[in-house]
């Protein structure tokens, strides 16, 4: 079966020093783009859906399609809830067959983040589901914003304590990235990344990946990042493809919009897969 847990998919990335891309789905066009791109690159991949996107991509519609697509795929696929904050949403995705969930308690006080993360881990482990959590706070939001406050960065000593107390399978860290589009060039604290990687024994996750340079990604992977989240680059690529279609044709069927969006997003998926080093690793 192609559907595997986050713990499994990242174990290979750890052993062979590459990163697996998580690409968020916001509809069938992005879902097909991710699977097709991964298969053409013979790469493991993580299908994600963010809780913040569910008003536009209802989980009750998307979840069954995502799980089915993963099972049919020719490459290893993890189906993951991204930035889950509501207990009900997290449990719902588990019931749908997701093999991984993220509990994002990064805006909570430290002890409360640990407490709530442990509750999710206890349920997930009983079902063989992996758990990712976040320590520190990656700023911004889908569609824009940045966060330059170092007090939100992940502290290496706390990272070790957090992992030990929660028994999570992957840790998302804050080292200067932001969700969505950057308003100016990010400055990553890669030395902090190395310190965290030296202390914890679980794979590290980079959120806010859209907008970083290729060299930024390579350096982060070299220093221990094993999962990288991408959405904004895909979304903007789809919009650019649709803009070109509108310039070229006055009349077209609605399904042409989906086909163009899919093709442009697939190109982004394949480019990131090759950059992350996961191509030919399936």
Catalytic residue list: 82
**Secondary structure of residue 23 in the 3-state scheme:** strand
Q: Which residues, 6+ apart, have CB-to-CB distance to 39 below 8 Å?
A: 73, 74, 75
- The Cα angle at residue 22 between residues 123 and 147, in degrees rounded to 5: 95
Q: Which residues, 6+ apart, have CB-to-CB distance to 115 below 8 Å?
A: none
Buried b (16+ CB within 10 A) or exposed e, 86-105: eeebbebbbebbbbbbbbbb
Direct distance between the N- and C-terminal alpha carbons of the chain, in angstroms, rounded to an integer = 13
Separation between Cα atoms, residue 50 and residue 143, nearest integer Å: 13
Phi-psi region of 128 (alpha: psi -120 to 50; beta: other; left: phi over 0): left
Structure tokens at 199: 């202390």
CB 210 within 8 A of CB 233: yes
Bridge-based pairing state of the strands 130-135 and 100-103? parallel
**Secondary structure of residue 121 in the 3-state scheme:** helix
């Amino acid at each position: 079966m192609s559907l595997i847990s986050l713990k499994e998919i990242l174990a290979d990335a750890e052993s062979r020093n590459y990163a697996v891309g998580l690409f968020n789905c916001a509809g069938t066009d992005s879902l097909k783009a991710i699977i097709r791109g991964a298969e053409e690159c013979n790469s493991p991949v993580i299908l994600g859906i963010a809780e913040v996107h569910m008003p536009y991509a209802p989980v009750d519609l998307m979840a069954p399609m995502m799980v089915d697509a993963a099972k049919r795929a020719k490459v290893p696929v993890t189906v993951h809830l991204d930035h889950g904050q509501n207990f009900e949403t997290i449990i719902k995705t588990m019931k749908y067959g997701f093999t991984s969930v993220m509990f994002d308690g990064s805006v909570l006080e430290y002890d409360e983040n640990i407490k709530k993360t442990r509750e999710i881990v206890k349920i997930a482990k009983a079902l063989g589901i992996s758990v990712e959590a976040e320590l520190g706070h990656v700023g911004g939001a889908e569609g824009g914003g940045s966060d330059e406050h170092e007090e939100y960065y992940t502290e290496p000593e706390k990272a070790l304590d957090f992992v030990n107390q929660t028994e999570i399978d992957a840790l998302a860290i804050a080292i200067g990235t932001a969700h969505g589009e950057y308003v100016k060039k990010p400055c990553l604290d890669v030395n902090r990344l190395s310190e965290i990687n030296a202390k914890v024994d679980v794979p590290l996750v980079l959120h806010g990946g859209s907008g970083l340079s290729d060299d930024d990604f390579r350096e982060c992977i070299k220093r221990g990042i094993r999962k990288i989240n991408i959405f904004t680059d895909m979304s903007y690529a789809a919009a650019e493809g649709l803009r070109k279609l509108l310039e070229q044709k006055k009349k077209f069927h609605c399904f042409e919009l989906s086909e163009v969006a899919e093709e442009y997003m697939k190109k982004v998926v394949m480019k990131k897969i090759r950059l992350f080093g996961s191509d030919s690793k399936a």
